[in-house]
Each structure stands twice: as structure tokens, then as C-alpha cells.
């Protein structure tokens, strides 16, 4: 029988096809959270972190987007709770996964566990750098507040300003500084090539 974490990964690989919030985003977030834990020399529960990373955006996927909860973190937590209950995941570990999912959005109140803090910083960092710009540009036309490329770039610049102040770990802040330089280079080149975005 497959371990539950592998079943969760298979589920997310199947339903997480969205280019911004999908399976690839979850894998990047998980890898980055593990990197932060190594750099910071933190002890954590690997299974809780992996499952939380895989399910943190599941409420955004078409299969689950019309559930009762109004925001995606709550919907994701509701779906995760059901998946973990069906898989007989231990109740204390389920609570840790749910806490991490509920607190993962930038600006949401932080959770109390190390897994929650690792997930939160990794999710925030995935909004920065070349990958962050790619994600925001992929939102054009799919999100109400990202109607066109200038709106996406405004969103990227807003995230660039806000996210560094929301990060918990020193290593996260170092990664953020590197990724912000990538964004600055891209945005400067784009503005130069488009008469300060007038030709975009």
C-alpha cells in the first residue's frame, strides 16, 4: 500500500494543473522550505511539511474551487482535513498540516509550528524573482485584479515591496534580496524597451 504522502502527491499531480498554483508550484515550495530548514538548522517533521506544501493551494483547483469557504486557504484546509481523515493520518499531525495551510498566505497571521513558518516563507519567496514574475504574468486574464500586463507588473512590484518584511528567517531574507535583484533587472529592461510600459 502506498504511503499517504505519496497518495497526496499523486492527487495534486493529477488535479493541480494550474500554471500558477499547481503541482510545480507545490514542488518548488516544498524544496525551498526544505532548503530553508537545512540552512537554518531546524528540526521539523518531513511528512507534515511535505503534505502541507502539496495541499496548501488545493482549494484553488477547479475540482475544489466551489466549496463553501470564501478564501482558498480555508478551502484548502477543508479539503486537506478530509483527505487526511480518509487516510487515517494522526490527528496531531493533521492539526499541524491544517495550521500551516491556514497561515501560508503572505499577510495571514503566522502559525506556531516550524513547519508553518517554513511553508509561509517558501510560499512568499515563490512570488519573487524570475519565477515570481513568470507566475504573476501567467495570471493575466485569469484573475480579476490582473486584467493585463501592466496590472500584472504593478502586482509584481507590490509583492516585491511587501514580501521582504513578511519573512521570518534570515536565510529567506537573503534569498529575497537575490530574487529582488532579478526582478529589478527585468523590470528596468522591460521599461526601457517599452517607453516606461507605454508600448506594452
pLDDT digits 0-9 by tens, 64-74: 766 565 688 99
Under 8 Å between Cβ of 71 and 91:
no
C-alpha cell at 67: 466549496
The residues spanned by each domain of the chain are 1-116, 127-200
Task: Please check the confidence at residue 164 and state whether its pLDDT lies above 60.
Answer: yes
Q: Specify the pLDDT at position 144.
A: 77
Percentage above 70 pLDDT, the chain: 96
Q: Does the pLDDT at position 1 exceed 50?
A: no
Q: Which band of pLDDT confidence, cut at 50, 70 and 90, is reported for residue 56?
A: very high
pLDDT tens string 70-113? 688 999 999 999 999 988 899 999 999 999 999 999 888 889 99
Span 113-120, average pLDDT: 97
The mean pLDDT value for 8-17 works out to: 93
Long-range contacts of 6-12 (CB under 8 A, 24+ apart): 7/87, 8/51, 8/54, 8/55, 8/83, 8/87, 9/50, 9/54, 11/83, 12/54, 12/55, 12/58
- Which three cell numbers, joined as nine digits, stand for 12? 495534486
What is the average pLDDT across 121-143?
93
CATH class of the domain defined by 1-116: mainly alpha
Amino acid at each position: 500500500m502506498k504511503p499517504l504522502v505519496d497518495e497526496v502527491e499523486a492527487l495534486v499531480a493529477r488535479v493541480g494543473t494550474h500554471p500558477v498554483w499547481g503541482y510545480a508550484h507545490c514542488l518548488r515550495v516544498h524544496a525551498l522550505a526544505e532548503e530553508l530548514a537545512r540552512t537554518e538548522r531546524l528540526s521539523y517533521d518531513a511528512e507534515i511539511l511535505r503534505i502541507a506544501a502539496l495541499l496548501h493551494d488545493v482549494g484553488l483547483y477547479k475540482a475544489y474551487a466551489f466549496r463553501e469557504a470564501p478564501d482558498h486557504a480555508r478551502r484548502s484546509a477543508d479539503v486537506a482535513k478530509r483527505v487526511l481523515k480518509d487516510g487515517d493520518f494522526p490527528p496531531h499531525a493533521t492539526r499541524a498540516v491544517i495550521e500551516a495551510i491556514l497561515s501560508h498566505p503572505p499577510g495571514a497571521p503566522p502559525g506556531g509550528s516550524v513547519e508553518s513558518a517554513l511553508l509561509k516563507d517558501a510560499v512568499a519567496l515563490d512570488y519573487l524573482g524570475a519565477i515570481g514574475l513568470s507566475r504573476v504574468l501567467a495570471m493575466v486574464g485569469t484573475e480579476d485584479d490582473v486584467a493585463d500586463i501592466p496590472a500584472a507588473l504593478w502586482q509584481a512590484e507590490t509583492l516585491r515591496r511587501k514580501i521582504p518584511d513578511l519573512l521570518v528567517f534570515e536565510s529567506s531574507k537573503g534569498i529575497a534580496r537575490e530574487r529582488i535583484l532579478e526582478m529589478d533587472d527585468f523590470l528596468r529592461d522591460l521599461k526601457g524597451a517599452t517607453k516606461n510600459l507605454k508600448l506594452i
